[in-house]
Amino acid sequence: MDQVVKALVGGGEISLTVIKNRDMVQKAAVVHLLSDLGMHALGRVLTAVTYMCAHLKDERGKISATFKGDGAGGDLCVAGDYFLHMRGAIDDPYVYLPKRDGEEDVAACIGKKGTLTVVRDDGYEQPFVGVCDLSSGDVSEEFTRYFALSEQLPTAFALFAETKDDDCAFSGGVMIQPLPGASEEAVTKVGEIFSRPDLKELLKEMDAETFAREVFGAEELSCRTPLYQCNCSRAYLRDVLMSFGEAELRDMLKQDGRICAHCHFCNTDYVFYEEDVNEMFAQGANEA
Ligand SMILES: [Zn+2]
């Protein structure tokens, strides 16, 4: 089962988050028919945004991150909420590139030029929008940079994914963030563990909770289960369509006899017919 584990380490001065989310990335792979490279790219961004959502404090909170880069995969977007219901999409789910040094070339899939935009809605104020220029296309580096520049919180990301025979074999991440006033000693000590060359192998072998305890010496920790789950519904798409106005919808009906609304996060089509449009505006008139 997927896990998000949070703990304080380094004498309580460093926030540690450990995520294992193979099932989430596998669900994304099935929904979008992702290539191995697509899984590597979208999987890492799903992990990073899951981390951000795990630190939302209000039930109304939600976060989205959009990569608009010049890479082969096109734009990539992931969104999620306080309840760790995550979803994502990539322009070209079948993206393929030759491997580089035996690894999927995620940086070339994302691109080195472009932007990472994060919209953070904490649930009680205006959403905060942070935009960062891409620098390397490496997802861990881009989020580390985003946190330093836009949120001004030093946060280190180590994001991993592995695929085998068109399936996600492993996905996860380790994030550390010093609390305000953390001592240099704690930062160095936890930073050394974070930089272990076998970090990925250890995370692969253990569940997130055991990993936090055994590798980072975490004592008290909290554990939650994230899910790949879209929040779209027929009612939601109906509202979106209504915002186009009756004339526009009648026009669309004239062309095809039906209106197809597509949710790109879960690849679901919602089809509306003339009687649905009649009902939309009949009810709209009643409400007015
Ligand atoms: Zn959907």
Q: For the segment 112-139, what is each residue's pLDDT rounded down to a tens digit?
A: 999 999 999 998 878 999 999 999 999 9
0.85 surpassed by pTM: yes
What residues does the ion ligand 1 have nearby, CB within 5 Å? 230, 232, 263, 265-266
Q: Are 43 and 168 in contact (CB under 8 A)?
A: yes
Q: Which CATH architecture has domain 234-287?
A: Alpha-Beta Complex (3.90)
The alpha carbon of 229 and the centre of ligand 1 are apart by a number of angstroms equal to: 8
- Out of 16-25, 184-193, 248-257, which region has the weakest mean confidence (pLDDT)? 248-257
CA angle, residues 51, 52, 55, in degrees to nearest 5: 95
The alpha carbon of 125 and the centre of ligand 1 are apart by a number of angstroms equal to: 26
Q: Is the pLDDT of residue 41 over 80?
A: yes
Q: What is the DSSP string of the chain?
A: --EEEEEEETTTTEEEEEEE-HHHHHHHHHHHT--HHHHHHHHHHHHHHHHHHHT--STT-EEEEEEEESSTT--EEEEEETT-EEEEEES-TT-----BTTB--HHHHH-SSEEEEEEEE-SSSSPEEEEEE-SS--HHHHHHHHHHHTS----EEEEEEEEETTEEEEEEEEEEEEPTT--HHHHHHHHHHHT-TTHHHHHHHS-HHHHHHHHH---SEEEE--EE-----HHHHHHHHHTT-HHHHHHHHHHHSSEEEEETTTTEEEEE-HHHHHHHHHHHHHH-
Interval 239-258 mean pLDDT? 93
The alpha carbon of 176 and the centre of ligand 1 are apart by a number of angstroms equal to: 31
Q: Are 51 and 68 in contact (CB under 8 A)?
A: no
Q: Write down the domain spans for the chain.
A: 3-228, 234-287
Equal fold, 3-228 vs 234-287: no
The alpha carbon of 184 and the centre of ligand 1 are apart by a number of angstroms equal to: 45
Interval 198-202 mean pLDDT? 98
Domain 3-228 has CATH 3.55.30.10: yes
